Every structure is written in C-alpha cells, then in structure tokens.
C-alpha cells in the first residue's frame, strides 16, 4: 500500500520510473516486447510467454492474460469474417466450397495473428495498470 501511496499520478511505481522510463503499453504489447523496458522479447514461442526479460530482467510470472485475448479475438474476428461471408453469400451467391476455401484459412490466419497481438497488449496493459493478485514481494 505504501508503494501505491507514493504514486500520486496513478502511473507505474516511482522505483520503476527511476530506472525504466514509462513505455507505451500499446506499442510494447503489439510488438511483443517487454512491458517494462520495451526492448526484450515477451514471447518465447508463438503464444508462450517467456520466463523473463533478457534486457531488464523483469520476471514475467505476473503475466496472466487468461481468456481475455481469446474473447476479443472471437468478437472482433468473428464479426469481421461472418459479416464478410454473409455479404458475399447475399451479393454474389457462390457455391459452398468457395466459402470454405476463403473463410476458413482467412479466419485461421486472422485469429492466430490477432491472438498474439492481443495477448501482448493485454499483458502490457496488465503490467502498466498493476492488475494482479495481491502477493508479498519476493
Ligand atoms: Zn524488459
């Protein structure tokens, strides 16, 4: 609580700002970069979060995006792909295999891409806004 009280602007704790200047969470998140220094890699695999930042040593143990990225991806990409498929069916009326050929690969590529971007973004925002369970310092 004392750490939060020192922080009058609602930004990152004073200790972090003294060493690591604030990083834009959107840029760091979408780029898959460390939410503290903006340089190190966030992911060790395609969607696997690494153990920590190689640049600043930030432990990624706090990172838990949960179902958040999947929810946003389902809503956004689902709206886009289903909307386009409906538009194509109504206006052009192609046969069923054309729909399969276009929309399944498109949905896969868009979902996987968006899932990585969204996961990085949510973890960066989680770090920025200190959204985590209460725990003792290690
Ligand atoms: Zn870092």
- Cα(38) to ligand 1 centroid in Å equals 6
Q: Does the reported pTM lie above 0.85?
A: no
Note the pLDDT tens digit of each residue in 63-104: 877 788 889 999 999 999 999 999 999 999 899 999 999 999
* Torsion sign (Cα): 38, 108, 101, 96: negative
Do residues 41 and 50 make contact, with C-beta atoms less than 8 angstroms apart?
yes
Stronger pLDDT, 132 or 111, i.e. the higher one: 111
DSSP secondary structure of 15-83: HHHHHS----HHHHHHTTB-TTTS-SBSBSSSS-B-SB-TTT--BGGG---TTHHHHHHHHHHHHHHHH
- Cα(52) to ligand 1 centroid in Å equals 8
Kindly list the domain boundaries of the chain, sorted by start residue.
Answer: 4-128
Note the pLDDT tens digit of each residue in 39-65: 889 899 888 888 888 888 888 888 877
């Amino acid at each position: 609580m004392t750490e939060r009280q020192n922080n009058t602007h609602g930004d990152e704790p004073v200790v972090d700002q003294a060493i690591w200047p604030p990083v834009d969470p959107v840029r760091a998140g979408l780029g898959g970069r460390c939410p503290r220094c903006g340089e190190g890699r966030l992911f060790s695999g395609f969607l696997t979060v690494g153990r920590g930042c190689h640049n600043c040593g930030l432990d990624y143990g706090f990172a838990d995006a949960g179902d958040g990225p999947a929810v946003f991806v389902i809503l956004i990409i689902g709206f886009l792909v289903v909307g386009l498929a409906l538009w194509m069916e109504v206006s052009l009326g192609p046969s069923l295999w054309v729909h399969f050929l276009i929309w399944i690969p498109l949905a896969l590529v868009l979902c996987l891409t968006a899932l990585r971007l969204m996961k990085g973004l949510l973890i960066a925002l989680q770090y920025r806004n200190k959204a985590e369970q209460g725990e003792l310092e290690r």
